[in-house]
Homo-oligomer: A and B are copies of this chain.
Amino acid sequence: MRYELYYWPTIQGRGEFVRLALEAAGADYVDVARKNMQAMLDVLEDPKLARPPFAPPFLRAGRLLIAQTANILHFLGPRLGLSPRAESSRLWLHQLQLTVEDLIVDVHDTHHPVGAHLYYEDQQREAKRRSAYFTGERAAELLGYFERVLAANTTGRGHMAGRALTYVDLSMFQVIAGLRYAFPRMMRRLEPSIPGLITLHDRIARRPEIAAYLDSDRRIPFNEDGIFRHYPGLDG
């Protein structure tokens, strides 16, 4: 099965969670919009689609067109060997991924608290207030939760869930990498309290498939158009 991923071609954004899963599994996939942006817009603007996506990312898998990041990963998990097949395990992984999504919204809103329709420069004052909440309180709350989940997984030490690598491990790697890029000062303060997540991040980065991907031009660098943006004034 050749998968077609559709996502904005110049940012990691939400699409990166899907890219990491496809890369870690060595899946056969095309990152469509990086070669042909119009192909993505054509899907978004197709009035005849019976099941239209609201926004990227979306994935074409044979006749299926699936949107919403966590939904895509829920679908791909068992197919890529990145999730157990048992329903209870899949629900738990999905629950964790949805909590990652909550964190992603919080990160996005640090630089866009008024709305995505305005540039950051036009909401800087509000961004400063929102970021103070994120760096001072909310990030510690969410990362503390994930650290607790990791520690509570006694069946597979070092994984977020179960005995083997799952897409949630990859998502935690991306969260730590992104937070380090966007909020280096905050992370220097928080990292001592989340040693398990830091170890997990480092171990994922060393996996051959992931190391090769991070080294390739398929990995778009972090930048100030994505979700994780480095604005020193917002970093605590």
A residues engaging B (CB < 8 A)? Answer: 49-54, 64, 66-68, 70-71, 74-75, 88, 91-92, 94-95, 98-99, 102, 105, 109, 113-115, 117-118, 123, 126, 129-130, 133-134, 137-138, 142, 145, 148-149, 152-154
Can you give 17 A-B contacts (C-beta < 8 A)?
A: A50-B154, A53-B95, A54-B99, A54-B102, A54-B145, A64-B91, A66-B91, A68-B94, A68-B95, A68-B98, A68-B99, A71-B95, A109-B113, A113-B130, A115-B133, A118-B133, A126-B129
| Docked CA distance A64–B68 (Å) | 25
Residue of B nearest to A129 (CB): B114
Do B114 and A130 touch across chains, with their CB atoms under 8 A apart? Answer: yes
| Docked CA distance A102–B152 (Å) | 30
Do A152 and B91 touch across chains, with their CB atoms under 8 A apart? Answer: no
Do B126 and A114 touch across chains, with their CB atoms under 8 A apart? Answer: yes
Do B52 and A64 touch across chains, with their CB atoms under 8 A apart? Answer: no
| Docked CA distance A102–B14 (Å) | 14
Do A64 and B88 touch across chains, with their CB atoms under 8 A apart? Answer: yes
Looking at chain A's contact residues, the main secondary structure is helix
Q: Give the top 3 A-B pairs by smallest Cβ distance, nearest first.
A: A115-B133, A68-B98, A114-B129
Residue among A75, A91, A115 with the most chain B CB within 10 A? A115
| Docked CA distance A51–B105 (Å) | 23
Chain B contacts of A118 at CB under 8 A? 133
Do A152 and B67 touch across chains, with their CB atoms under 8 A apart? Answer: no
Chain B contacts of A129 at CB under 8 A? 114-115, 123, 126
Do B94 and A114 touch across chains, with their CB atoms under 8 A apart? Answer: no
Chain B contacts of A98 at CB under 8 A? 68, 70-71
Residue of B nearest to A63 (CB): B88
